Amino acid sequence: MAATRNIPARRSKAYTEGLKIRRRWLGKAYVDKAFKDADAFTIDLQHYVTEHSWGASWARGVLPLKTRAFMNLAMISALNRPHELELHLRAALRNGMTTREIKEAFLHVAVYCGAPAALDSFRIAKKVLAELRPAGATAPSSPRGARR
């Protein structure tokens, strides 16, 4: 398993489950590249987030992944972490979250974290959505001010 070099000889259940869920959610290619690109300074961080973020949290099974995705998008927005927000937006969309749900999460962010956090999150989401949209397709739209 060259992509995850320097894995501790004994992997905890949290690490093993974390690696599975991390690859499933973010994509195998992304995760394998993160390990491949890690050096002596950063490899321990890759192992740490795999075991603790993905294994001890995401893989717990109590909350559905979609609920965790909602929470993640809101917290990452509040913390103003644009790189992580873009990564988790792509993963949320790939794993079934809708643009309408993402919009609602960011509107909720506006109320509790402030308009600047929501504005940045909407900007990043528009960029990601534009990149993922097939050539020639238009953005999903609804009548101005329309509500469900």
Confidence of residue 59 (pLDDT cuts 50, 70, 90): very high
3-state DSSP assignment of residue 144? coil
- For residues 61-83, one letter each, b for 16 or more C-beta atoms within 10 angstroms of the residue's C-beta and e for the rest, the string is eeeebeebbbebbbebbeeeeee
Q: What's the rounded mean pLDDT across residues 57-64?
A: 93
pLDDT at residue 134 in the model: 75
Q: How many domains is the chain partitioned into structurally?
A: 2
Q: Would 148 be classed as within a structural domain?
A: no
Domain that holds residue 85: 63-133
Q: Indicate the residue among 40, 62, 84 that finishes a domain.
A: 62
Q: What is the DSSP letter of 135?
A: T
Whether residues 48 and 79 fall in one domain: no
Cβ–Cβ contacts within 10 Å for residue 92, how many? 25
> 33 and 85, same structural domain?
no
Which positions ≥6 away from 23 have C-beta within 8 Å? Answer: 31, 32
Residue 126 and residue 89 share a domain: yes
The reported pLDDT for the residue numbered 133 is 83
Q: What is the mean pLDDT of residues 113-124?
A: 96
Q: Is the pLDDT of residue 11 over 90?
A: no
Q: 146 or 37: whose pLDDT is higher?
A: 37
pLDDT in the model for residue 141: 47
Q: Is the pTM of this model over 0.85?
A: no
What SS3 state is found at 27? coil
